[in-house]
Each structure stands twice: as structure tokens, then as C-alpha cells.
Amino acid sequence: MGKAALDRMTADMAHELEPYGVAVVSVWPGLVRTELVLMGARPGPDGAATLELPGEGTFDLAEAESPRFVGRGVAVLATDPKRMARSGRAFAVSALAAEYGFTDVDGTLPRVLLRPND
């Protein structure tokens, strides 16, 4: 419910702020390797750190995003001269990375997606 509300608020704010040249987008990260996520991780049989998310599955944290990956997505959107064309919509950070050609701080393109239709 909260995620749907955020997407709706993004669309509404974009409509209201368009006359002022303000772009409003919602940016959706995948699984992020935060301190809290790392605390919940367990070593797998192969030694990889995994996280079990009920209803979602088990995820290898080596494929998760660093906290700076979403920042790279925000930066590329902010500097895009065509950013107004994106206003009012939501974007997965991984989709932005594929389109704009940026990577995470370690040079990888994280693959853990937690948003439907990513």
C-alpha cells in the first residue's frame, strides 16, 4: 500500500510541479546491502552470505546493491537534460543503470530485483 501511494504521489506532484519545470520521479532500489540487511544474512553452504525474505525467496547478497548505487541513479537522472520526460513515473535503479550505462561502486550491475515487473 505504501509503495503504491508513493507512486501515486509521484504522479500527482509531477502534474502540479510541471509548470515550474520540476521533475518528480520515484526511484526503486533492489535489495540493498545495508548494515541491517547484512546483520540478517546467513552463510550459505558455499560460504556466500544469503538473506531469506519470506514470500520473496533467498537472495545472495553478493548480487545486492551497495547503498551508493541508488545515488548514482539519482545523479544521472538529475543531470539528464530530458528528465522532464520521465516526470511522474517510477524507475527501478537497475533499469536506469542498464539504460544510462552506470554500474555499482564495484563495477557490477546488481541483479536482485524486489519490484514486480523489473
Is the pTM of the predicted complex or chain greater than 0.75? yes
Distance, in Å, from the CA atom of 113 to the CA atom of 107, rounded to the nearest integer, reads 18
Distance, in Å, from the CA atom of 90 to the CA atom of 24, rounded to the nearest integer, reads 9
pLDDT at 118 over 50: no
List the one residue out of 95, 34, 36, 98 whose CA is nearest residue 66. Answer: 34
List the one residue out of 71, 76, 3, 64 whose CA is nearest residue 36. Answer: 64
The pLDDT score that the predictor gives to residue 51 is: 86
Residues 3-32 pLDDT 10s: 889 999 999 999 999 999 999 999 999 889
Residues 24-75 pLDDT 10s: 999 999 889 899 988 888 887 787 888 888 887 888 888 889 999 999 999 9
pLDDT at 115 over 60: no
Confidence tier at 81 by pLDDT (50, 70, 90): very high
